């Protein structure tokens, strides 16, 4: 545990040695920045106006609050001192993932730690898949209308719904692609806010394979649709997995 005097500089290298063994390969700069940001969040601190943790560019961090020794520590070991920042490090380090994301669905703490690059790539591929659906449907709208007229009685309503949902889906997918491509840190918070709407949109487009039922067969169209029903939940899992991996690596 790092125990420092108030105002003493703690170098980034000291943090690396304390938090990660020498044989651990991680994105050290990103991971350390994540931990310090979580410390500031817990303490209600600010990088621009620090009260607890001051950043010294390219050197390390300076801890500003006074060192205190808890009563229990003084009773058992008079030489043991614990700083407020060390206590917070102990709280953050074991999980480093938001506990508030415990849903009925997959819990973020139950997810495996996977390199964020793989997670981002899979997430982008899913968004490109949906973009392809939207573009193909709008680009061949007359053919889609013909299929709907032969298959459904209320084809006009379905066509309007298809156009509106595709028009909404295109900017949403581009938004998500740009967010994950530039590795924006609050993607999970943004995505979880959009999840209910995306779930309805994606479940609607899970029926898209039936537009090709004459070419691929009704059985294959049903199998693809069944897989597409799961994809919205897979996106949510990938977003939380990226958040967990970024916090723990």
Name the nearest CA neighbour of 122 among 180, 74, 171. Answer: 180
Please tell me whether residue 68 adopts helix, strand or coil conformation: strand
With bands split at pLDDT 50, 70 and 90, how would you rate the model's confidence at 107? confident
For residues 61 and 241, the model is more confident at 241
Name the nearest CA neighbour of 243 among 172, 179, 189. Answer: 189
The residue-averaged pLDDT of 209-237 equals 92
For residues 137 and 75, give the distance between their C-alpha atoms in angstroms, rounded to a whole number: 73
| Cβ–Cβ under 8 Å, residues 53 and 61 | yes
Name the nearest CA neighbour of 164 among 128, 195, 205. Answer: 205
Lookup result for tokens 């967010």: 179
Q: In a 10 Å sphere around its CB, with 0-12 CB exposed, 13-18 middle and 19+ buried, how is residue 82 labelled? A: middle
Kindly tell me if the per-residue pLDDT of 103 is higher than 90.
no
For residues 240 and 73, give the distance between their C-alpha atoms in angstroms, rounded to a whole number: 38
Q: Are strands 9-11 and 53-56 parallel, antiparallel or unpaired?
A: unpaired
Beta strands in the chain (DSSP E): 9-11, 53-56, 60-63
Domains and CATH numbers, the chain: 9-94 (1.10.10), 108-248 (no CATH)
The residue-averaged pLDDT of 44-58 equals 75
Per-residue model confidence (pLDDT) at position 128: 96
Residue partners of 35: CB distance under 8 A and separation at least 6: 15, 19, 89, 92, 93, 96
Per-residue model confidence (pLDDT) at position 177: 93
Name the token pair of 173. 């997918």
Kindly tell me if the per-residue pLDDT of 82 is higher than 70.
no
Per-residue model confidence (pLDDT) at position 94: 41
User: 3 to each of 46, 47, 116, 128, how far by Cα in Å?
Assistant: 22, 21, 32, 49
Per-residue model confidence (pLDDT) at position 88: 44
> pLDDT, tens digit, for every residue of 144-174?
888 888 877 667 888 899 999 999 999 999 9
């Amino acid at each position: 545990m790092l125990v420092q005097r108030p105002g003493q500089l703690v170098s980034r290298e000291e943090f690396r040695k304390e938090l990660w063994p020498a044989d651990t390969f991680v994105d050290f700069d990103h991971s350390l920045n994540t931990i310090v940001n979580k410390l500031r969040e817990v303490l209600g601190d600010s990088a621009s106006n620090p009260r607890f943790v001051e950043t010294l560019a390219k050197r390390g961090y300076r801890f500003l609050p006074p060192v205190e020794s808890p009563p229990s520590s003084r009773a058992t070991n008079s030489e043991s001192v614990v700083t407020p920042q060390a206590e917070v490090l102990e709280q953050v380090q074991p999980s480093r993932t938001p506990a508030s994301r415990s849903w009925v669905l997959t819990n973020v703490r139950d997810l495996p730690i996977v390199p964020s690059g793989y997670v981002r790539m899979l997430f982008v591929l899913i968004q490109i898949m949906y973009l392809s659906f939207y573009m193909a449907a709008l680009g061949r709208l007359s053919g889609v209308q013909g299929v709907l007229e032969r298959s459904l009685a209320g084809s006009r309503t379905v066509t309007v719904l298809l156009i509106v949902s595709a028009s909404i889906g295109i900017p949403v997918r581009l938004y998500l692609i740009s967010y994950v491509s530039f590795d924006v840190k609050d993607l999970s918070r943004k995505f979880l806010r959009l999840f209910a709407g995306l779930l309805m949109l994606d479940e609607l487009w899970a029926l898209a394979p039936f537009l090709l039922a004459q070419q691929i067969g009704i059985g294959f169209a049903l199998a693809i649709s069944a897989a597409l029903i799961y994809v919205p939940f897979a996106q949510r899992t990938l977003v939380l997995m990226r958040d967990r991996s970024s916090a723990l690596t």
